[in-house]
Structure 1
């Protein structure tokens, strides 16, 4: 078995926190952009549904429908949850997918599909940049 130097071990232990610190602002920017597009695409009657769309670190608020989770690959601690709905706007999924009597007015998944590639690229770019800086420093 190969011997690993203590300096190399210390360097490896610093990789996760440094990459996490580099990716966090990218996750925030992407979540803000995705939520803004969802709010623009959302049909508005009284504004409750539009106002219930948001994002949070970790888990969504109680009563909300989770739309998407933004995180790096693997089991990272940095995870943003995109959600819609609350006690007033409990009908978020009915608007998105429709019911037997009303047609669907999708706003979650069209927004997600429109931005998915950009978000993944941003996260990958930030991760690669952080790893390059760690490797050179």
Structure 2
């Protein structure tokens, strides 16, 4: 992933954006984040308890989500007001990545040392949903920003 060359200059430019444009962008981002969070939650396998579905959440401010197994918005956030991270997993649900990507057959250790685990098939729910909706989110945000700029 490419790193931002002059982060401070980019942050200054982001801070200079008029409040009306920032507000429009934030509303569009919030709508897209809600839509994506709900879609990922609906795509997640139910399982026995439904805890995986309940663990899908969004965090504003671009901060790192604790105990998350899967998270969108990888990398440094530019503007905390215009950053949201959608994640699956929490302190109780630390297996979201195992459901998403599956596991290979292996020999168990620990309590059941020496037994064979047959592996699990992948049940992708997070990244396919993200890929499906990211273009819509980008378009929604671009339209909102363009409309706000034209109204200035």
* Structure 2: runs of 5+ lacking an equivalent: 1-14, 105-118
Equivalent in the alignment of 1:17: 19
* Structure 1: runs of 5+ lacking an equivalent: 1-12
**Over aligned residue pairs, what C-alpha RMSD do you find?**
2.0
Q: Secondary structure at the match of 1:69?
A: coil
- Matched residue count: 119
Q: Which moved more, 1:113-122 or 1:53-62?
A: 53-62
- TM-score, normalised to structure 2, is 0.71
CA contact (8 A) 2:69 2:95 kept: no
Normalized per residue, the structure richer in helix is 1
Q: Secondary structure at the match of 2:72?
A: strand
CA contact (8 A) 1:66 1:81 kept: no
Structure 1 residue ranges (4+ consecutive) displaced by more than 4 angstroms after TM superposition: none
- CA offset at residue 63 of structure 1? 0.8
- TM-score, normalised to structure 1, is 0.79
Q: Secondary structure at the match of 2:151?
A: helix
CA contact (8 A) 2:69 2:97 kept: yes
Q: In structure 2, what is the Cα distance between the partners aligned to 1:54 and 1:120?
A: 20
Q: In structure 1, what is the Cα distance between the partners aligned to 2:51 and 2:145?
A: 37
Tell me, yes or no, if structure 1 residue 79 matches structure 2 residue 83: yes
CA contact (8 A) 1:60 1:83 kept: no
CA offsets per residue over residues 10-66 of structure 1, 9 Å max, x none? xxx863422211111111111111111111111111111110001010224311135
